[in-house]
Amino acid sequence: MAGGVTEEERRARAALTRVVEPGDEHGGRWLRELGAVGLLRRLTSASYEHDPLTGAGEQRVHGFRARAARADPERDLAAVEACGGRFVVPGDPEWPSQLDDLGDARPVGLWVRGRPDLRRWALRSVAVVGARACTPYGAHMAATLASGLAERGWVVVSGAAFGVDGAAHRGALAAGGATVAVLACGVDRAYPRGHAELIGRIAEQGLVVGELPPGSHPTPSRFILRNRVIAALTRGTVVVEAEYRSGSLVTARAAQRLGRFTMGVPGPATSGLSAGVHELLRGEAELVTDAAEVAELVGDIGELAPPRRGPVLPRDLLDPAGARVLEALPARGTAATAGDIARDAATTVDEALGRLYELHALGFVERLGDGWQLTAQAVRRPNARRGGA
């Protein structure tokens, strides 16, 4: 978890997640100019007469300083560790560098619960979002798309809300697939309450992430700003059902601005819950009706990760747990179930599945029916590449 990031830097960023609201570009600019440690030092120093920050307005800086004085990063870091989580910051090997596309609105850091590696999962992820008050058709389409994407080795990212989001997470889980919930509150909290059990399962089998420190509450603006993280993290966003002016359209437009694929599932022209999607589709968004169409579209990009071209890492740079799972796969041409692989790797099925999805993102393994097999590239001594790297 260390990488090139100092503990002082990590602590400073943890503190700043209590100071800078998600998406605050002014805060992000100061952070970029002064560094996390430098910014926190200014905000907590006794005097700030000649502080460059004052150019931003006395009152604003006063609020920042008040929040910085109350921040207790050790307590927050301990709290996230207590629920099996961690705090990932830019510079960490696990940091999803596509978030850097957000510029000064980039998250200060991400609070993460769950075993899998966030960066590797995000490399091969698609957002499935939509209306909370969706129709049975919308819930069906979200679940079916998510299952189909999971079966194709794609990670399904959503916001854990009622309606389309929940159906998407459940669809991915039902297919034994990978899913990530991006929350607008602390990752130790379950919001909405009615999704406590679902969010718990996602933390067990997938990832629950958020910008806000443990204990934080969601607010309307935090919901809206959370959407930019969903858009930036993924290769594309599918909107399943959305009214005019809905939050899902914010995610879709953010995805568009970030150069990600924006997709929409059509519905009856008579349905108000499809009106927002149709509006998107009359613009730049692509019409999709099933997971194969989504995968075909987002799979084309190839720039973030080239899974079709074989492993992106030499095999011996895998971490020990990943390497053990890879070793547990039978010779190419034979598939094994996650259960068999877990037994041979001496780990749990959940852990094995998490590692298999990472290995999939890295191009080492692929799905074959209900099982997993080595890719042709994984067999062809990919370590030979290392000399060139």
CB nearer a copy of itself, residue 47 or residue 270: 270
By CB under 8 A, residue 3 contacts a copy of itself:
no
| CA distances in angstroms from 314 to 3, 40, 323, listed in the order given | 18, 39, 11
256 lies in the site for a copy of itself, by CB under 8 A: no
Min separation Cβ 88 and a copy of itself, Å: 36
* CA 64 – CA 15 distance, rounded (Å): 11
Q: Binding of a copy of itself at residue 50 (CB under 8 A)?
A: no
Binding residue (CB under 8 A) for a copy of itself from 101, 104, 151, 290: 290
CB 304 → a copy of itself: shortest distance, Å?
A: 24
| Token pair recorded at residue 365 | 């393994």
The site map against a copy of itself for 182-221 (x = CB under 8 A) is ----------------------------------------
Among 29, 67, 140, 367, the residue binding a copy of itself under the rule CB under 8 A is 140
| Contact flag: residue 237 with a copy of itself (CB under 8 A) | no
Laid out side by side, the sheet with 125-129 consists of 85-88, 110-113, 207-210, 179-183, 155-158, 125-129, 236-239, 261-264, 286-287
Q: What is the DSSP letter of 336?
A: B
Provide, rounded to whole angstroms, the least separation between the CB of residue 114 and a copy of itself: 31
Rounded distance between C-alpha atoms, residue 64 and residue 70, angstroms: 10
The least CB distance from residue 136 to a copy of itself, in Å, is 11
Judging by beta carbons within 10 Å of its beta carbon (0-12, 13-18, 19+), is residue 132 exposed, middle or buried?
middle
Least separation, in Å, of the C-beta of 173 and a copy of itself? 22
State the minimum distance, in angstroms, from the CB of residue 377 to a copy of itself: 31
Return d(Cα 244, Cα 118) in angstroms, integer. 32
Q: Is residue 278 close enough to count as binding a copy of itself by CB under 8 A?
A: yes
Question: Does 161 interact with a copy of itself (rule: CB under 8 A)?
Answer: no
The answer to whether residue 286 forms part of the interface with a copy of itself (CB under 8 A) is: yes
Segment near a copy of itself (CB under 8 A), from 5-13, 185-193, 261-269, 311-319? Answer: 261-269
Closest to a copy of itself by CB, 40 or 240: 240
Q: Does 281 bind a copy of itself (CB under 8 A)?
A: yes
Name which position in 148, 247, 267, 311 contacts a copy of itself (CB under 8 A).
267
Q: How far apart are CA 286 and CA 75, in angstroms?
A: 45
3-state secondary structure of 164: helix
Q: Does 265 bind a copy of itself (CB under 8 A)?
A: yes
Q: Which of 48, 137, 162, 223 binds a copy of itself (CB under 8 A)?
A: 137
Please tell me the distance from the alpha carbon of residue 237 to that of residue 158, in angstroms, as a whole number.
Answer: 9
Minimum distance from CB of 293 to a copy of itself (Å)? 7
Q: Binder to a copy of itself among 38, 103, 215, 268 (CB under 8 A)?
A: 268
The rounded Cα 124 to chain-centroid distance in angstroms is: 10
Nearest CA-CA partner of 364 in 324, 216, 389: 324
Half-sphere exposure of 209 (CA within 13 A, CB side): 30
Q: How far is the CB of 130 from a copy of itself (least distance, A)?
A: 13
Q: Is 266 in the site for a copy of itself (CB under 8 A)?
A: yes
Phi-psi region of 32 (alpha: psi -120 to 50; beta: other; left: phi over 0): alpha
Q: Which of 360, 354, 259, 361 is nearest to 305 (CA)?
A: 361
Does residue 251 contact residue 227 with C-beta atoms inside 8 Å? Answer: yes
Regarding 289 and contact with a copy of itself (CB under 8 A), the answer is yes
| List of residues contacting a copy of itself (CB under 8 A) | 137, 140-141, 265-270, 274-275, 278, 281-282, 286-290, 293
